[in-house]
């Protein structure tokens, strides 16, 4: 999801132990001290954001979430069955469920287990020996009134709303907040189940749309219906969703790179006509992204676009949509170039996340740029695919006006802390800059496709992505990533004319910054490729009064006096 309003620096109550840990960590990052000074982390943050010993010994294999939605009193009740592989001996298991929801009972093989609550985490004591290599399961029953979303999708939870006809229109949105805001799970991104079943029971007359394929609808004697969905692929926590409403449904089959792909659309009756028109952009999106990124990563689960009572979110194989059935971002062009008004931002951006977020997923939310930078750049690539290379470049360059350079893009590890919202526009511009260094469009495309092949259905770290991109680009890009992901300064190409030519160097940059750059000599050219470092170098061309970097590079330049 896009996150202009994504919460970053909230000041919270400090518990000494975690504060100290966090302080230690931050002392290694001198460039972020002002930002860091605003941040303190709680014991809850550590339980939520780290791979605790009570998480590390078991590996998720399968979830079956069963939940009953009761709109009349805004409650949920149900259970999650967690099937897991034992990796190493363990006795205590951490399961997460956020207040005010409560765990009622946990059992293994039908026997109730002892549970200790610690904030939003529950520590379950297992009685049976847990033997490495074996697959076991527990069932966690829960109930209560889940947190209501204040400003979805950014400040998430449950959305209880009504359509124009007065029928319930309900949805979940929980990126950042975490899936444990509405169901019990291992609420850390590093581990995903291999597959998942989702059974949602709703009052009659309403339909639930969740992830994957609909296997069965059962009419129950108590005037409810149960929708059984099945996801055949690994799925991340916040990608799981339910959308409940009086939906109209239509579908088509897309002839995709891996064969037929089912496309299913859901909209409220009052929006049926406009949705049918607007959602025609879905096949266009798929054509462009399969070209750039490779096959859609979830053929078995199909692709769905589902109307939701908030702006939108990249739920896996079940993208949610609330962009008003018009082009742009709520009718606006984020690039201010006009190109952003030619397509629907939510259809393009949220679907782009199927490759970067759902296929390739961050292990720690500190690395959220892996989702948002590539997906921001997917908007530019979509534009390029249909309107040409210049249009795509204008789009991403136009988005620079939204960059704040307020804090590093990489967040803080192990405390559920994302970095700056610059992960969108600045991240996109970093990738566009790296593309210039690669210098070959086809090679660049193969790099993007290679990422999706190499890290297919995996959770990854920034280091893995950096390494892969460097390798494919044939250049050590560590200083470039450090500059744009871990520092807030924009490199300045300083230059000064001399009798023997023009001198140039990088300033305002990280140590070792040596990025090549293409520059225009004087107003009209010619263009020249330079490899500046922090030391002055001389280009032996006389009468050069200006050096203007190619606008595709996200850098600045400055004439300095001798
Ligand atoms: Zn996004």
Q: HSE of 353 in the Cβ direction (CA atoms, 13 Å)?
A: 30
If you measure from the C-alpha of residue 461 to the centroid of ligand 1, how many angstroms do you get, rounded to a whole number? 18
Whole-number Å distance, alpha carbon 399 to ligand 1 midpoint, is 14
What is the CA(350)–ligand 1 centre distance, in A? Answer: 6
Cα 506 to ligand 1 centroid, rounded to whole Å? 32
Tokens, residue 391: 């249009």
**Dihedral (C-alpha) 379, 385, 388, 389: value to the nearest 10 degrees?**
60
Distance of alpha carbon 352 from alpha carbon 266, whole angstroms: 19
Residue 420 contacts residue 409 (beta carbons within 8 Å): yes
Measured in angstroms, how far is the CA atom of residue 3 from the centroid of ligand 1? Answer: 7
Ligand 1 center to 246 CA (angstroms): 27
Distance 305 CA to ligand 1 centre (A): 15
Distant-in-sequence, close-in-space partners of 481: CB < 8 Å, separation ≥ 6: 430, 462, 466
pLDDT in 10s for each residue of the chain, 562 residues: 433 333 333 323 222 223 333 333 333 343 444 555 567 899 999 999 999 999 999 999 999 999 999 999 999 999 999 999 999 999 999 999 999 999 999 999 999 999 999 999 999 999 999 999 999 999 999 999 999 999 998 889 999 999 999 999 999 999 989 999 999 999 999 999 999 999 999 999 999 999 999 999 999 999 999 999 999 999 999 999 999 999 999 999 999 999 999 999 999 999 999 999 999 999 999 999 999 999 999 999 999 999 999 999 999 999 999 999 999 999 999 999 999 999 999 999 999 999 999 999 999 999 999 999 999 999 999 999 999 999 999 999 999 999 999 999 999 999 999 999 999 999 999 999 999 999 999 999 999 999 999 999 999 999 999 999 999 999 999 999 999 999 999 999 999 999 999 999 999 999 999 999 999 999 888 999 999 999 999 999 999 999 999 999 999 999 998 7
- The confidence score (pLDDT) of residue 36 equals 52
DSSP 8-state secondary structure symbol assigned to residue 411: -
Residue 310, SS3 per DSSP: coil
Residues 6+ apart with CB under 8 A from 125: 91, 92, 113, 114, 115, 116
Distance, CA of 444 to CA of 436 (rounded, Å): 9
Return the pLDDT at 154: 87
Gap from CA of 372 to ligand 1 centroid (Å):
5
Are the C-beta atoms of 434 and 555 separated by less than 8 Å? no
Question: Could you tell me the distance, in angstroms and rounded to a whole number, from the CA of residue 199 to the centre of ligand 1?
Answer: 27
What is the Å distance from ligand 1's center to 483 Cα?
A: 22
Residue 205 Cα to ligand 1 middle (Å): 32
Give bridge partners of residue 497 from the DSSP assignment: 502
Tell me how far the alpha carbon of residue 86 is from its chain's centroid.
Answer: 29
The pair of three-digit structure tokens given for residue 116, joined into one six-digit string: 């200790």
Q: How far apart are the first and last CA of the chain?
A: 48
Residue 422 has which token pair?
A: 């610059």
Task: State the pTM of this model.
Answer: 0.92
In this structure, which residues have their CB less than 5 angstroms from ion ligand 1? 1-2, 375
Instruction: Retrieve residue 15's tokens.
Output: 């518990």
Token pair in block for residue 475: 């250049």
Contact between 298 and 317 (Cβ < 8 Å):
yes
Q: How far apart are CA 69 and CA 76, in angstroms?
A: 5
């Amino acid at each position: 999801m896009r996150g202009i309003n994504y919460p970053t620096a909230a000041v919270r109550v400090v518990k000494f132990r975690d504060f100290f840990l966090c302080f230690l960590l931050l002392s290694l990052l001198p460039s972020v001290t002002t930002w860091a000074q605003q941040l303190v982390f709680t014991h809850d943050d550590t339980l939520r954001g780290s791979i605790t010993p009570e998480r590390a010994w078991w590996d998720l294999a399968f979830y079956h979430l069963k939940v009953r939605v009761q709109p009349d009193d805004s409650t949920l009740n149900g259970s999650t069955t967690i099937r897991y592989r034992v990796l190493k001996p363990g006795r205590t298991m951490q399961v997460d469920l956020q207040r005010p929801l409560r765990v009622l009972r946990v059992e293994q093989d039908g026997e109730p287990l002892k549970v200790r609550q610690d904030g939003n985490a529950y520590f379950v004591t297992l009685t049976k020996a847990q033997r490495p290599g074996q697959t076991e399961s527990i069932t966690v029953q829960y109930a209560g009134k889940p947190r209501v979303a204040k400003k979805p999708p950014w400040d998430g939870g449950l959305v209880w709303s009504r359509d124009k006809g007065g029928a319930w229109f309900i949805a979940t949105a929980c990126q950042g907040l975490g899936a444990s805001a509405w169901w019990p799970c291992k609420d850390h991104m590093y581990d995903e189940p291999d597959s998942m079943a989702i059974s949602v029971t709703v009052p009659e007359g309403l339909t639930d749309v969740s992830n994957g394929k609909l296997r069965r609808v059962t009419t129950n004697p108590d005037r409810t219906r149960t929708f059984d969905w099945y996801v055949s692929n690994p799925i991340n926590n916040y990608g799981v969703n339910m959308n409940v409403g009086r939906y109209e449904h239509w579908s088509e089959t897309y002839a995709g790179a891996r064969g037929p792909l089912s496309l299913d659309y859901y909209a409220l009756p009052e929006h049926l006509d406009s949705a049918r028109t607007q959602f025609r952009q879905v096949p266009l999106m798929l054509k462009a992204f399969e070209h750039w990124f490779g096959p859609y990563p979830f053929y078995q689960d199909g692709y769905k676009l589902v109307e939701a009572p908030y702006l939108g979110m990249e739920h896996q194989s079940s993208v949610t949509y609330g962009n008003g059935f018009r082009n742009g971002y709520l009718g606006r062009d984020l690039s201010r170039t006009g190109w952003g008004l030619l397509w629907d931002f939510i259809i393009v951006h949220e679907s782009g996340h199927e490759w970067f977020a759902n296929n390739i997923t961050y292990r720690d939310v500190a690395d959220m740029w892996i989702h948002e930078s590539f997906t921001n750049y997917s908007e530019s690539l979509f534009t390029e695919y249909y309107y040409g290379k210049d249009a795509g470049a204008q789009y991403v360059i136009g988005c620079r006006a939204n960059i704040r350079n307020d804090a590093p893009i990489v967040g803080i590890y192990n405390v559920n802390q994302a970095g700056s919202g610059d992960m969108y526009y600045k991240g996109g511009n970093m990738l566009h800059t790296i593309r210039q260094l690669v210098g070959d469009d086809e090679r660049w495309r193969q790099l993007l496709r290679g990422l999706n092949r190499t890290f297919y259905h995996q959770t990854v770290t920034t280091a893995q992505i950096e390494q892969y991109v460097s390798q494919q680009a044939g250049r050590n890009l560590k200083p470039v990533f450090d500059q744009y992901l871990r520092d807030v300064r924009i490199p300045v190409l300083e230059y000064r004319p001399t009798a023997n030519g023009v001198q140039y160097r990088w300033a305002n940059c990280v140590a070792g910054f040596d990025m090549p750059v293409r520059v225009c000599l004087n107003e009209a050219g010619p263009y020249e490729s330079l490899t500046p470092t922090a030391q002055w170098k001389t280009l032996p061309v006389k009468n050069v009064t200006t050096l203007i970097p190619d606008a595709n590079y996200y850098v600045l330049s400055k004439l300095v006096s001798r």
